[in-house]
Amino acid sequence: MKKQKQECFGGFFNPFDLLSEEIIFMILDLLNHNPLDRKSFSLACKSLYATESKHRRTLKPLRQEHLPSVLSRYPNITHLDLTLCSRLTDTSLSIISNVCAPNLRSIDFSRSRLFSTSGLLGLAINCKNLVEIDLSNATDLKDSAMAAVAEAKNLEKLCLARCKSITDMGVGCIAVGCRNLRFICLKWCLGVGDLGVGLIAVKCKLIRHLDLSYLPVTNKCLSSILKLQHLEDLVLEGCFGIDDDNLAVLEPGCKSLKSLDVSTCQNISHCGLSSLINGAEGLQQLTLAHGSPVTSCLADCLKKLSLLQSVKLDGCVITYDGLKNIGNWCASLRELSLSKCSGVTDEGLSSVVTKHKDLRKLDITCCRKITDVSIAQITNSCTSLTSLRMESCTLVPREAFVLIGQRCCLLEELDLTDNESFLFAGLKSISRCSKLASLKLGICLNITDEGLIHIGKGCSKLLELDLYRCAEITDLGISAIAQGCPGLEMINTAYCKDITDRSLLAVSKCSRLKTFESRGCSLITSLGLTAIAVGCKELTKLDIKKCHNIDDAGMLPLAHFSQNLRQINLSHSSVTDVGLLSLASISCLQNITILHLEGLSPSGVAAALLACGGLTKVKLQAAFRWLLPHRLFEHLEARGCMFQWRDKVLQVELDPKCWKLQLEDPMP
Partner 1 sequence: MDLKERLSGDLQNKEHPSFNNFNTQNQQNWEDPSMLDYSTRIEPPHFLGFNQSSQTQPSNNQIKVPGQDGPVNETLQANKVQEWDPSAMLNNLSFLEQKIHQLQDLVHLIVGRRGQVLGRPDEVVAQQQQLITADLTSIIVQLISTAGSLLPSVKHTLSAATPSIGQFGQFGGVVFPPGQGMNGGVQPQNASASKVSEQPNTVDVSSNSGNEQNHIIEEHDMKDEEDAEDGENLLPGTYEILQLEKEEILAPHTHFCTICGKGFKRDANLRMHMRGHGDEYKTPAALAKPHKESSSEPTLIKRYSCPYAGCKRNKDHKKFQPLKTILCVKNHYKRTHCDKSYTCSRCNTKKFSVIADLKTHEKHCGKDKWLCSCGTTFSRKDKLFGHIALFQGHTPAIPLDENKGSIGTSDRADSNQAANKVGSMNFNFSNNVSGESGVQSSMDVKGSVDDPAGFFSPLNFDTCNFGGFHEFPRPPFDDSESSFSFILSGSCNYTQKSGEE
The footprint of partner 1 (CB under 8 A) covers 142-144, 146-147, 150, 168-170, 172-173, 176-177, 195-196, 198-199, 202-203
Q: Amino acid identity of 516?
A: F
Residue closer to partner 1 (CB basis): 142 or 596:
142
The helix or strand, by DSSP H or E, that contains position 132, with its residue range, turns out to be strand 132-134
Report the distance separating Cα 169 and Cα 166, nearest Å. Answer: 8
| Burial (CB count within 10 angstroms: exposed 0-12, middle 13-18, buried 19+), residue 330 | exposed
> How near is the Cβ of 495 to partner 1 at its closest, in Å?
54
End-to-end CA distance of the chain: 64
CA–CA separation, 208 and 221 (whole Å): 16
- Strands 490-492 and 183-185 come out as unpaired
Q: Which helix (H) or strand (E) holds 64?
A: none
Q: Between 5 and 164, whose beta carbon lies closer to partner 1?
A: 164
The overall longest dimension of the chain from CA atoms, in Å, is 82
User: What is the rounded distance in angstroms from the CA atom of residue 84 to the CA atom of residue 90?
Assistant: 16
Nearer CB in complex with partner 1: 189/333: 189
- Which residue, 28 or 133, has its beta carbon nearer to partner 1? 133
Residue 55 three-state SS: helix
Shortest distance (Å) from residue 176 CB to partner 1: 4
In the complex with partner 1, the residue whose CB is nearer, 150 or 521, is 150
CB closer to partner 1 out of 118 and 296: 118
Query: Residue 172 or residue 614: which is nearer to partner 1 going by CB?
Result: 172
Shorter beta-carbon distance to partner 1: residue 191 or 442: 191
Q: Compute the least distance from the CB of residue 493 to partner 1, in Å.
A: 54
Min separation Cβ 144 and partner 1, Å: 5
| Min separation Cβ 173 and partner 1, Å | 5
Q: Measured between alpha carbons, how far is 86 from 341 in angstroms, rounded to an integer? A: 39
Find the shortest distance in angstroms from Cβ 148 to partner 1.
9
Determine phi and psi for 590, rounding to 5 degrees.
-115, -35
Nearer to partner 1, 192 or 302 (CB): 192
* Strand runs labelled E in 338-408: 361-363, 387-389
State the Cα–Cα distance between residues 221 and 242, nearest whole angstrom: 10
Distance CA 44, CA 49 (A): 7
Looking at the Cβ atoms of 190 and 195, the one nearer to partner 1 is 195
- For partner 1, give the closer residue by CB, 170 or 456: 170
List the one residue out of 395, 316, 390 whose CA is nearest residue 353: 390
**Contact indicator for 198, 222 with CB cutoff of 8 Å:** no
Q: How far is the CB of 170 from partner 1 (least distance, A)?
A: 7
The whole-angstrom separation of Cα 106 and Cα 135 is 11
Burial 421-452 (b: 16+ CB within 10 A, else e): bbbbbbbbbbbbbeebbbbbbbbbbbbbbebb
**H-helix segments, 391-516:** 398-407, 424-430, 449-458, 475-484, 501-507
> Based on CB atoms, which residue is closest to partner 1, 168 or 464?
168
* CB nearer to partner 1: pick between 215 and 556: 215
Q: At what angle do helices 449-458 and 475-484 cross, to 10 degrees?
A: 0
Nearer to partner 1, 221 or 436 (CB): 221
Distance of CA 605 to the CA centre of its chain: 30
Cβ atoms of 370 and 394 within 8 Å: the answer is no
Taking the complex as a whole, the smallest distance from the CB of residue 146 to partner 1 amounts, in Å, to 8
Torsion of CA 585, 54, 99, 88, to 10 degrees: -30
Instruction: State in angstroms the smallest separation of the CB of 246 from partner 1.
Output: 17
Shortest approach of partner 1 to residue 275 CB, angstroms?
24
For the CB of residue 203, give the shortest distance to partner 1 in the complex, in Å.
7
Q: Interior CA angle at 206 toward 245 and 252, to 5°?
A: 30
Residue 171 or residue 283: which is nearer to partner 1 going by CB? 171
CA distance 248 to 250: 6
Shortest separation between residue 186's beta carbon and partner 1, angstroms? 16
Reported in sequence order, the residue ranges of 416-574 that DSSP labels E, i.e. its strands, are 438-440, 464-466, 490-492, 515-517, 541-543, 567-569
Closest approach of partner 1 to the CB of residue 124, in Å? 13
Q: How far is the CB of 467 from partner 1 (least distance, A)?
A: 55
Smallest distance, Å, CB 143 to partner 1? 4
From residue 62, how far is each of 67, 84, 136, 257, 638 by CA, in Å? 9, 5, 19, 39, 17
Whose CA is closest to 58, among 71, 68, 69? 71
Cβ nearer to partner 1, comparing 216 with 602: 216
CB of 213 to partner 1, least distance (A): 22
Q: Roughly what angle, to the nearest 10 degrees, separates helices 90-99 and 117-126?
A: 0
> DSSP letter at 80?
E
